[in-house]
Structure 1
Amino acid sequence: MGDDGSKKKTCNHIILVHGASHGAWCWYKLSTLLTSAGYRVTVPDLAAAGIDERRLEDVLTFADYSKPLLEIVVSLPADERVMLVGHSFGGMSIALAAEMFPEKVAAAVFLTAFLPDCTAPPSFVIDKLFEVPISVWMDTQFKTYTAEEKRPASVLFGPQFLESRLYQLSPPEDITLAKTLIRITSLFLDDLRSRPPFTADRYGSVDKVFIVCEQDFTIPEQHQRWMIENYPVKEVKSIEAVDHMAMVSKPKELCQCLMEIASKYS
């Protein structure tokens, strides 16, 4: 019997976008699970991240940083739509991709990620998080530069911060991996503060799902739910007993979440 078109297709192509200081490597467990389940998975390194050869001083703007993702999305066949999954700061990059190419995005999934709205500059949800005492960031190193130096302010997560606030529920071997592979990065806050809000007719038109990580000490659950209240999404899912790095601490549960989302948004 032929397909009468009444059966909804699953979004089969998933793009996983890492957060600050990380790279494609942090998705290794989830990428394996999704690929084994029959999904096409693309996992880019953003500029000056992972094994990308650029240095941070070569990446002056947030758009430059996100360029590897944007290049993938723009290269998709005309009839293909993808599910974007952004983790942490990766939420900002998938928001930019949704703003630029809304017709290519079946769903934008924010995994304990920054969720910008359509009224404030994109930096707003990050600036609100940084209202906490600087001591929360422990041994993380922040550095600013003068306008003449033409470099974005940088951040490098410290080993104590990694163990206590990013990976506190993750296997020890993944903490060791992170300590080996994380790179200095930027949150490009000056650039994001100067950008206009994302637009309602482009970014706002894309279906969005937020996955709450309940034991996240980096973007705490309270801040995650504040972002959702500030800019409601199509659907909210939640994973219990999981830290900021859900892709390594609860990969099977996260995989199940993403498969459920892919089956609903095509």
Structure 2
Amino acid sequence: MGGDTHFILVHGLCHGAWSWYRVVASLQSAGHRVTALDMAASGPHPARLDEVSSFEEYSRPLLDAVAASQDGERLVLVGHSHGGLSLALAMERFPRKITAAVFVAAALPCVGKHMGITTEEDLALAKMLVRPGNQFLDDPVMKDAALLTDANYGSVKKVYVIAKADYSSTEEMQRWMVAMSHDTELQEIAGADHAVMNSTPKELCDVLVKIADKYD
């Protein structure tokens, strides 16, 4: 893979960049450039949740990172769980800056439907984690069925990584999302639970490098 490919990793609800530490170390030791981001009011990010008024503001660290990327830089965005929605927003805004987007046991929205879909499993998980989270379900961005377009979001190469031992977002639910979103490549990791980056970090790293090589 060329040296100018840059992995940008986006955590799930209530998590932070810290959740990717095993994958970051594996990718870096293999010689790849990688950045794990904290979304607003997540991980050590200084904002408090009550200071983040919208999903766009929550996703601003990712939007800013993609906007600041250099011409010719190959960005591979990787989102886990709720982080898939932040990926979708970045893909819609900056489709020509993104080489591929990888949804790891993640929310995978489709063109023509709004993004504000949640599950009881997401809410139960959020209550267990270290910082409070907000899914911004009342945010107009989340309710806008026309937000994601074929011309932008739909034009970015999408890969979905199924965690086959995920009991939070079941394999059936993951496959349903892939079936609803056309032209999405499918990868599977056996033995991966919902926290794929912790349960099977080496396997996930191998999948990410293979995806970057394919779209190099």
Superposition TM-score tier, normalisation by shorter sequence: over 0.9
8 Å contact 1:34–1:41 — kept in the other structure?
Answer: yes
Q: Does structure 1 residue 59 correspond to structure 2 residue 52?
A: yes
Paired residue for 2:71, among 60, 67, 78? 78
With normalisation by structure 2, the TM-score equals 0.93
Q: Matches of residues 3-18 of structure 1 in structure 2 within 5 Å? A: 9=2, 12-18=5-11
Task: Give runs of ≥4 in structure 1 deviating > 6 Å.
Answer: none
For 1:31, what is the secondary structure of its paired residue? Answer: helix
Verify the 8 A CA contact 1:11 1:83 in the aligned structure 2. no
User: What is the 5 A alignment of 1:224-239?
Assistant: 224-239=174-189
Larger Cα-atom Rg: 1
Contact 1:45 1:68 in 2 (8 A): yes
Structure 1 unaligned regions, length at least 5: 1-7, 141-154, 159-178
- Give 1:12 deviation, angstroms: 2.1
Distance in 1 (CA, whole Å) between partners of 2:198 and 2:76 is: 20
CA 1:100/1:242 → structure 2, altered by over 3 Å: closer, same or farther?
same
After superposition, the CA RMSD in angstroms is: 1.8
Alignment partner of 1:94 is 2:87: yes
Q: Deviations over 1:8-63 (max 9, x none)?
A: 84762100100000000000000000000011001110000000010111111110
Instruction: Check the 8 A contact 2:163/2:188 in 1, yes or no.
Output: yes
Aligned partner of 1:13: which letter? H
Q: Equivalent residue for 2:192?
A: 242
How big is each residue's C-alpha offset from its partner over 1:51-96, in whole Å with a ceiling of 9 and x where there is no partner? 0010111111110000001111111112212000000000000111
Matches within 5 A, 1:148-227: 156-158=126-128, 182-191=130-139, 192-194=142-144, 196-227=146-177
The letter of the residue matching 1:186 is N
Letter in structure 2 aligned against 1:184? P
- Quote the residue 1:5 is aligned against: none
Q: Which residue of 1 aligns with 2:16?
A: 23
Q: Equivalent of 1:42, from 35, 55, 72? A: 35
Counterpart amino acid of residue 172 in structure 2:
Q
What is aligned with 1:265? 215
Partner letter of residue 215 of structure 1? A
Q: Shift in Å at residue 233 of structure 1?
A: 3.4
Say yes or no: does 1:118 pair with 2:114: no
- How far apart are residue 196 of structure 1 and its match? 3.1
Cα gap change, 1:262 to 1:137, in 2 (>3 Å): closer
Structure 2 portions without partners, runs of 5+: none
